[in-house]
Amino acid sequence: EAQVTQNPRYLITVTGKKLTVTCSQNMNHEYMSWYRQDPGLGLRQIYYSMNVEVTDKGDVPEGYKVSRKEKRNFPLILESPSPNQTSLYFCASSFQVSSLQHFGDGTRLSIL
Amino acid sequence: GIQVEQSPPDLILQEGANSTLRCNFSDSVNNLQWFHQNPWGQLINLFYIPSGTKQNGRLSATTVATERYSLLYISSSQTTDSGVYFCAVEESGGYQKVTFGTGTKLQVIP
């Protein structure tokens, strides 16, 4: 089954404790991206990747890191999480940026 | 960057009614997509529609790129249509970024 898989689905953690949210797709897509969703603000793009080893900042990259060492995986890293990063996070993939995006089920992060 | 505005922000419909959701964007785009976020938070892609008209069952969408807007039509609405509808665009110019609108929250009541 074609899908985008995020883990964990839910996480409660404390300020400053490094965490990684994994994202994996099985559709051989080149384009992958991370979004955060906050009430009243819709979805905002954090980082995107056009292919292996090619990443770029979206609209809200501060406090996040990403890597794209393999085509299927695109982890989101919070080196020192802070409460303002409490949000619902989505990973998405598509063949190219200009094609239909497929989303994971989301990861709800709470930073205390 | 590009601005994407959706209207109305909230909409309540009686089951069986029709509705039109609008997405305006401030600059040229390479593509436009419509998504439905269901009450469980899942994002479902509805249409990839950089221009023209597409239909899928009770849903259809039209994008007029030259006038910088897109419309999503929902006919004979059902309670399962409830949720938030988003449009998302990729701005022209090689930016490779995607910008979402703030969404239209739809509630369909029996």
Over 90: is that where the pLDDT of B17 sits?
A: yes
* Cβ contact, residue pair B97, A50, below 8 Å: no
Query: What DSSP assignment string belongs to A6-73?
Result: EE-SEEEE-TT--EEEEEEESS--SEEEEEEEETTTEEEEEEEEEETTEEEE-S--TT-EE--SSSSB
* Cβ contact, residue pair B100, A44, below 8 Å: yes
Q: How far apart are CA A10 and CA A31, in angstroms?
A: 25
A33 at interface of B, judged by CB pairs closer than 8 A: yes
Q: Identify the pLDDT of residue B96.
A: 78
Residue A98: exposure state from Cβ atoms within 10 A (0-12, 13-18, ≥19): middle
Q: Identify the pLDDT of residue A96.
A: 84
User: Given pLDDT bands bounded at 50, 70 and 90, which one contains residue B87?
Assistant: very high
Over 90: is that where the pLDDT of A29 sits?
A: yes
Residues B54-81 have pLDDT tens digits of 999 999 999 999 999 999 999 999 999 9
Q: How many Cβ atoms are within 10 Å of A55's Cβ, its own excluded?
A: 18
* Cβ contact, residue pair A106, B45, below 8 Å: no
Residues of B with Cβ-Cβ distance to A56 under 8 angstroms: 96-97
For testing contact with chain A, the best of B5, B91, B92, B96 (most A CBs within 10 A):
B96
Could you give the 3-state DSSP secondary structure of residue B75?
coil
User: Given pLDDT bands bounded at 50, 70 and 90, which one contains residue A36?
Assistant: very high
Over 90: is that where the pLDDT of A4 sits?
A: yes
**Chain pair A-B, CB pairs under 8 angstroms:** 62
* Percent of chain A scoring above 90 in pLDDT: 89
Q: Using CB atoms, pick whichever of B35, B50, B98 lies closest to residue A33.
A: B98
> In Å, how far from its chain's centre is CA B64?
13
Q: Are strands A87-94 and A102-103 parallel, antiparallel or unpaired?
A: antiparallel
A98 at interface of B, judged by CB pairs closer than 8 A: yes
B 29-48 → A contacts, CB under 8 A: 30-31, 33, 35, 41-45, 48
B97 at interface of A, judged by CB pairs closer than 8 A: yes
User: Given pLDDT bands bounded at 50, 70 and 90, which one contains residue A2?
Assistant: confident
Residues A43-78 have pLDDT tens digits of 999 999 999 999 999 999 999 999 999 999 999 999
**Radius of gyration of chain A, Cα coordinates, nearest whole angstrom:** 13
- Identify the bridge partners of residue A76 per DSSP, sorted by sequence position: A21, A66
* Average pLDDT rounded to a whole number, residues A6-25: 96
Q: Using CB atoms, pick whichever of B31, B44, B100 lies closest to residue A42.
A: B100
CA-wise closest residue to A54 among A43, A63, A66, A36: A66
Q: Identify the pLDDT of residue A21.
A: 98
Residues B89-108 have pLDDT tens digits of 998 877 778 999 999 999 99
A47 at interface of B, judged by CB pairs closer than 8 A: no
Residue B55's φ and ψ, nearest 5 degrees, are -135, 145
Q: Identify the pLDDT of residue B92.
A: 82
**What is the side-by-side order of every strand in the sheet holding B69-74?**
B4-7, B19-25, B69-74, B59-64, B52-56
Average per-residue pLDDT for chain A: 94
